[in-house]
């Protein structure tokens, strides 16, 4: 395995990790900003008010994006297994 192949494998793994985490992180970000604006407007500073909706949003995003996440991960893993013979040289 050359250095370029190792760099490509590492880059692909990082991009896959970012793509898999993005739906949940974006959902938590959007809900967090909305709750922060609501808390600033109403001056309610309750910690559970920001935590519970974020958790629910992350679970909802995972449920909605689950099939896409699984197919992306399966495709990436299949590509890695197909590349194994060329990596062993």
* Lookup: tokens for 66: 């689950």
Q: Residue 66's pLDDT is what?
A: 95
Q: Which two tokens stand for residue 22?
A: 């993005």
Predicted confidence at residue 33, as pLDDT, reads 95
Q: Is pLDDT above 90 for 79?
A: yes
- Tokens 């250095």 label which residue? 3
Confidence (pTM): 0.81
Task: Tell me what pLDDT residue 81 has.
Answer: 92
Say how far apart CA 77 and CA 47 lie, in whole Å: 40
pLDDT in tens, 32-69: 999 999 988 998 888 888 899 999 999 999 999 999 99
Distance CA 81, CA 65 (A): 24
Q: Report pLDDT digits (tens) over 25-42.
A: 999 999 999 999 998 899
Closest CA to 30 of 62, 59, 53: 53
Torsion of CA 49, 51, 56, 62, to 10 degrees: 150
């Amino acid at each position: 395995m050359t250095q370029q192949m190792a760099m490509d494998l590492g880059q692909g793994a990082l991009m896959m990790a970012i793509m898999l985490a993005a739906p949940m992180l974006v959902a938590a970000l959007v809900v967090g900003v909305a709750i922060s604006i609501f808390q600033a407007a109403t001056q309610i500073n309750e910690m559970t008010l920001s935590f519970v909706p974020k958790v629910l949003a992350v679970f909802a995003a995972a449920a909605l994006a689950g099939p896409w996440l699984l197919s992306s991960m399966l495709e990436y893993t299949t590509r890695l297994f197909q590349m194994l013979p060329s990596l062993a040289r």
